[in-house]
Structure 1
């Protein structure tokens, strides 16, 4: 049963995790958004307390 021999599969696992952890995070972290959201109203909204009629 060749599946039980860990020699080639362990090496493939190690190299694939190495590639995953060294190449992909820098690419994801350097991503910049082209359209940054801007607030429509700079005025603070007034908040009013909500009076609930308790019966």
Structure 2
């Protein structure tokens, strides 16, 4: 039964994983988010009251 012979299938599996782990992670890590977060200044003054013109 040729399907039980692991020699060709094992090499195909190992080669496909080698290709996958070589080319795919750099392509995924190269993507950037369109709206990258910008760290806000931690010294912002929060003591100001809001100006509510309708109150």
Say whether the fold is shared (TM-score over 0.5): yes
Interval of TM-score (by shorter of Structure 1 and Structure 2): 0.5 to 0.7
TM superposition score normalised by structure 1: 0.60
- 1:3 corresponds in structure 2 to 3
Name the SS of the counterpart of 2:32 in structure 1: coil
TM superposition score normalised by structure 2: 0.60
Q: CA-atom RMSD, angstroms? A: 2.5
Runs (5+) with no aligned partner, structure 1? 46-55
Instruction: Report runs of 4+ in structure 1 exceeding 3 Å deviation.
Output: 42-45
Runs (5+) with no aligned partner, structure 2? 47-55
